[in-house]
Amino acid sequence: MRIESAEKGKNMIDHEKIEQAVRLLLEGMGEDVNREGLIDTPDRIARMYEEIYGGMDEDAGKHLSKTFTVDSHEMVIEKDITFYSTCEHHLLPFYGKAHIAYIPNGKVVGLSKLARTVEVFARRLQLQEQLTGQIADALMEYMQPKGAIVMIEAEHMCMTMRGIKKPGSQTVTIARRGVFETDPVLEERFFRMLGR
């Protein structure tokens, strides 16, 4: 299931509301919101949110609809795509590498478009499982390959700097679609090509 906003194209970020909320947060922490170091922080955060949550009003189709015709049915892999996302439970970053493979069915996309697709979904409030699935679903929807597989390895700051405090722990998630759901040999080839 794709979880895309019904209001795509509209800028979701309400700059003014975020500024007010950050002021309130700082006051809640007992801070003086007018001191020199903090006076511009609400505006800074609002501008930063436009950047790090910029995927909320983007559609992966923008990147994946531009395809090239090919004869090959060989697996295409783009690995070690670095990403930064934000966990929706604690609003803390999780970050790591995404690995994507698909088996074309007559068409491929430019290689950069796979990394751009990761960006579209990473720059939202996320769960790692959902991020992984959304990337795989977008590939299937826009490129109609024979199959797609996405693996994400990430470190969650809500697991490292607070709470259970387990720095270095990695969460690994996989989403299989199409022939990858039924053919374990393809999945093994994917892992081999990742060096696993």
Which residues are annotated binding-site positions?
87, 90, 158
Of residues 44, 66, 73, 89, which one binds ligand GTP by CB under 6 A? 89
Of residues 123, 156, 176, 177, which one binds ligand GTP by CB under 6 A? 156
State which amino acid sits at residue 67: T
Nearest to 174 by CA among 154, 146, 145: 154
Lookup: tokens for 101: 């493979």
98 binds ligand GTP (CB under 6 A): no
Scanning 28-36, 67-75, 156-164, 176-184 for contacts with ligand GTP by CB under 6 A, the matching segment is 156-164
Scanning 52-60, 75-83, 145-153, 159-167 for contacts with ligand GTP by CB under 6 A, the matching segment is 159-167
Annotated catalytic residue 73: no
Of residues 44, 89, 162, 166, which one binds Zn ion by CB under 5 A? 89
Determine the Cα–Cα distance for residues 21 and 24; give it in Å rounded to an integer: 5
Judging by DSSP bridges, how do beta strands 171-178 and 147-156 pair with one another? antiparallel
**Cα(first)–Cα(last) distance of the chain, in Å?**
29
The Cβ of residue 95 has, within 10 Å, a number of other Cβ atoms equal to 14
Residues that bind Zn ion (CB under 5 A): 87, 89-90, 158
Residues tagged active-site = 87-90, 128, 156, 158
